[in-house]
Amino acid sequence: MKKIKYIALLSILFATTLHANCQQKDENLVQFTGMVLSADSLQPLSFTVITIAGTRRGTISDYNGYFTLVAKKGEKLIFELLGYKTSEFVVPDTFQGYKYSLIKLMAQDTFYLDEVVISPLPDRQLFDQYFVKTEVPDTDLERARDNMERQALHDEMLSMDGRENQNYYMQNQVKKFYYAGQMQPMNILSPIAWSEFIKAWKRGDFKRKK
């Protein structure tokens, strides 16, 4: 009987000690939440990397710049984002409670790159030499002559202008909306189309022009 009481007393003492240690450890943990904003425009900074110095723990802010993670009092948080200066924040170890909120402002960082001059040739004289000696292919000259022929200019003159192209486009859109949700009729089965085809054939529209 005495042995049972002794064992029960040891169990109670062990449970009390364990609870006190766990409570002491929990008091050092903080639910750290906050927003990451740009210092100049107060716009949320999405996907900012927040890490705890000296550990592998961390998180990333969401699209609205919000983040949350569990940290210990006294730990240092590092905020990093491309285009902004790296910032740090130390979790206070003097406040009471287990929740801490922060609005973190980050300043933009400017990167100055060395000047780069891109040139096809090292100097102007060499460029003039290559320019004078460059042979223009005959195909380009022939293409230019073809474009300046009277028949080509006449065809361009008969082409549709901007207003006609717009009207043609609008007609196609109206036709598409008219048959929306159903299959468009095939002209090969249209008696009107066959009638127009026979009239054109009788007129000789399909004869090869010399």
How many angstroms separate the CA atoms of 147 and 151, rounded?
A: 9
Confidence at 159, pLDDT banded by 50, 70, 90: low
Mean pLDDT of the 60-78 span: 92
**CATH 2.60.40.1120 residue spans of the chain:** 29-106
pLDDT exceeds cutoff 90 at 141: no
pLDDT tens digits along 166-180? 887 788 888 777 777
Mean pLDDT of the 199-209 span: 76
Q: What is the residue type of 33?
A: T
* Residue among 68, 85, 76, 78 nearest 59 (CA): 68
Plot region of 86 (φ>0 → left; ψ -120 to 50 → alpha; else → beta) = beta
Confidence at 162, pLDDT banded by 50, 70, 90: confident
Percent of the chain past pLDDT 90, that is, above it, reads 27
Alpha helices for the chain (secondary structure H): 2-28, 124-133, 138-147, 150-158, 162-178, 191-203
* Residue among 85, 87, 92, 105 nearest 32 (CA): 92
Mean pLDDT, rounded, of the chain: 77
Tell me the CA distances in angstroms from 186 to 148, 170, 183, 189, one per residue in order. 41, 21, 9, 6
* Residue among 6, 59, 5, 55 nearest 31 (CA): 59
**29-106: CATH number:** 2.60.40.1120
Q: What is the pTM of this model?
A: 0.45
How many angstroms separate the CA atoms of 21 and 174, rounded?
A: 78
